A and B are shown apart, each in its own frame.
Chain A
Amino acid sequence: MGKITFIEHDNTEHVTEFEAGTTLMQIAVDNAVPGIDGDCGGECACGTCHMIVADEWFGKTGSIGDAEEQMLSMTPERAQTSRLGCQVKTTAAMDGLTVHLPEFQM
């Protein structure tokens, strides 16, 4: 059990609790965080779970797969530390992580 903070585009913060092993997308969805749709349920098929990981945490989120990279490459608000939330499985080391949400999803 740890904490992850989602910050909406308008700076509204959502501090959530998580169990390691859940994806960032599912944590956001389970907490009804606005701005994360997760429409395909985590299949890396829709691109509606785009998140921007705080710089200092990016290294802890694992590597970006080929399909994810292709999806992200066309995501309007892509940043250096962008990830698809459904492709990031949380670990205990992510306790305290902060992610920012883009203004729009695909």
Chain B
Amino acid sequence: MTTSEKKTTVIVGGGHAAGALMTTLLQKKYQHEVVLVGEEPHPPYQRPPLSKNYLAGEVEQASLYLKPRAVYEKAGQQLRLGVRVEQIDRDNKTIRLSDQSTLKYDQLVLATGSHVRRLRAPGSDLQGIHYLHDIADTDALREKLVPGTRLVIVGGGYIGLEVAASAIKKGVNVTVLEAADRLMQRVTGPEMSAFFYAKHIAAGVDVRLNTAVTGFEAGDQGRVAGVTLADGGTVPADIVLVSIGVIPETALAEAAGLPCDDGIVVDEFTRTGDPDILAIGDCTRHRNLFFEKMQRLESVANAVDQARTAAATLMGEEKPYDSAPWFWSNQYDVRLQMVGLSQNHDQRVLRGSTEDKEFAVFYLREGCVIAVDAVNLPVAFMVGKQLVQHRKSVSAEALSDPGADLKALV
């Protein structure tokens, strides 16, 4: 290849999806110029530890990085960190950066991720109200988790609950406020919610369901002193963590006129409405051939799988995204592994008991396994991965009988 044939691929955003794309292009010996522009000062890193062992102080910051920065650079990939992409000029195939420079691209990949949903309510700008999305957020929160502090967590999703588990271990007084009638309602079924509720209560967390938050009460010097509730009550707080979900980061794409619908709309090859622009990860509403409907997912599995699809698309291979999503969460001594999406199930089958140390819930639709949640039972997750991917129809008896070998089902 002569230099004149060398093209430039620019990746916007430096998160997990961007990092996985850089890696895949390295592995596949992509011949073109690759430039990543990321707003954060860090090379691509993993966020899951931010609410798990990094928050607990068990691992170093450097271990969050997918790779040391030097690895990309040694291989000829460029990282421009601490710089934001402000605008895409599709006509001239140029982007404008926050340092006022411009960059030409032949192909652009948007990997802008998501940002936290803010709670807009009276007192929401008081000091001591935290959100958790990046390294700086975790560093700031960890510092505050000292014995005797009263931490109120707004939102009983997996991130809030992981923080609750870490904080209570450090001797913090933890209250979790959840508006719905069960925990992790968006991602799991009622058995799993009940199991985690019992776990947190047993550990000493004050979990309050059906509890809507209306705002924050001010204490001295503009600091938060409490969280006010719809029923008129107040929960006293020294610090608050608001963890009520994320919003896909689509502003750049929208301003450039790319189709968006609560996520940048992409097809199964990660292509947007512009043939020279792809999008991957949390920021997308995407087609995955595994599902009938378009999806928007916030998970590492989705970020890396779409990144690999995009790498193939960039290299002229047609490899559609068609894999079942999976996920994990660690709370206390519980290792939860999930595969598939359970929302549309019409039957749930429990293997083992939620009183046990290990059990699994299988979610079926029309007799086929569409999702599995496994607690301390990796084999059920692994079997589930295959059952879900191949839409296997399995009898409820075979799934629930602890005497029957799960592995025989695939």
Chain A residues with a Cβ under 8 A of chain B: 29-34, 37, 39-41, 43-47, 67, 70-71, 73-75, 106
A6 to chain B, nearest CB (A): 12
A29 B68 Cβ-Cβ under 8 A? no
State whether A40 and B328 are in contact (beta carbons under 8 Å apart), knowing that A31-B71, A106-B385 are contacts in the complex. Answer: yes
Cβ of B320 under 8 Å from chain A: no
B378 A34 Cβ-Cβ under 8 A? no
State whether A73 and B407 are in contact (beta carbons under 8 Å apart), knowing that A31-B71, A34-B27 are contacts in the complex. Answer: yes
A46: chain B residues at CB < 8 Å are: 301, 326, 328
The contact of A43 among B23, B27, B301, B330, by CB within 8 Å, is B330
Contact code string B42-60 (vs A, CB < 8 Å = 1, else 0)? 0000101100000000000
B301 A45 Cβ-Cβ under 8 A? no
Chain B 296-348 residues near chain A, CB threshold 8 A? 300-301, 304, 326, 328, 330, 335, 337
State whether A71 and B378 are in contact (beta carbons under 8 Å apart), knowing that A32-B27, A32-B75, A45-B328 are contacts in the complex. Answer: yes
B48: chain A residues at CB < 8 Å are: 40-41, 43
Cβ of B379 under 8 Å from chain A: yes
The contact of B328 among A34, A37, A43, A70, by CB within 8 Å, is A43
Chosen A-B contacts, 16 in total, with CB atoms closer than 8 Å, are: A29-B66, A37-B304, A39-B301, A40-B300, A40-B328, A41-B46, A41-B48, A43-B48, A44-B378, A46-B326, A67-B335, A70-B377, A71-B378, A73-B379, A74-B379, A106-B382
A31: chain B residues at CB < 8 Å are: 71
Which A residue sits closest to B305, measured CB to CB?
A: A39
State whether A74 and B300 are in contact (beta carbons under 8 Å apart), knowing that A29-B66, A31-B71, A32-B71 are contacts in the complex. Answer: no
Contact code string B161-191 (vs A, CB < 8 Å = 1, else 0)? 0000000000000000000000000000000
The contact of B382 among A32, A33, A39, A73, by CB within 8 Å, is A73
Chain B 351-410 residues near chain A, CB threshold 8 A? 376-379, 382-383, 385-386, 407, 410
- A sample of 16 more A-B contacts (CB under 8 A), given A70-B378, A71-B379, is A32-B27, A32-B67, A32-B71, A33-B27, A39-B300, A39-B301, A40-B328, A41-B300, A44-B335, A45-B328, A45-B378, A46-B301, A46-B326, A67-B335, A70-B382, A74-B386
B378 A67 Cβ-Cβ under 8 A? yes
Cβ of B117 under 8 Å from chain A: no
A32 B407 Cβ-Cβ under 8 A? no
B376: chain A residues at CB < 8 Å are: 67
